[in-house]
């Protein structure tokens, strides 16, 4: 496991719960205070890691990339 969270491997359910909570917290913060960087400079993620995760997130909420692009243009690219 490449992260520094624990030496113990997290279950799929644990990862899903942490991701869901992070998404809710991030969206709430952006809605309250405006845009913030998604990741800290000292903890970079790769483009591949982002694409894998974003693809799964879009699929989970039944959104297409086109819909994301439309929302971004309406919302002013938050």
pLDDT tens by residue, 21-77: 999 999 999 999 999 999 998 888 999 999 999 999 999 999 998 888 888 888 765
pTM of the predicted model, to two decimals?
0.77
Nearest to 74 by CA among 26, 66, 50: 66
End-to-end CA distance of the chain: 32
Q: Is the model's pLDDT at 10 over the cut of 50?
A: yes
Structure tokens at 35: 């845009």
pLDDT band at 1; cut points 50, 70, 90: very low
Angle between helices 12-33 and 47-60 (to 10 degrees): 90
- Give the residue with greater pLDDT, 77 vs 10: 10
- Helix, strand, coil percent content, the chain, rounded in steps of 5: 60, 0, 40
The residue ranges of every structural domain in the chain are 8-42, 45-78
């Amino acid at each position: 496991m490449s992260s520094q969270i624990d030496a113990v491997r997290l279950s799929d359910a644990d990862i899903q719960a942490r991701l869901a909570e992070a998404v809710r917290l991030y969206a709430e913060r952006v809605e309250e205070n405006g845009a913030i960087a998604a990741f800290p400079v000292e903890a970079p993620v790769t483009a591949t890691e982002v694409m894998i995760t974003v693809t799964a997130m879009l699929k989970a909420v039944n959104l297409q990339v086109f819909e994301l692009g439309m929302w971004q243009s309406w919302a002013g690219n938050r």
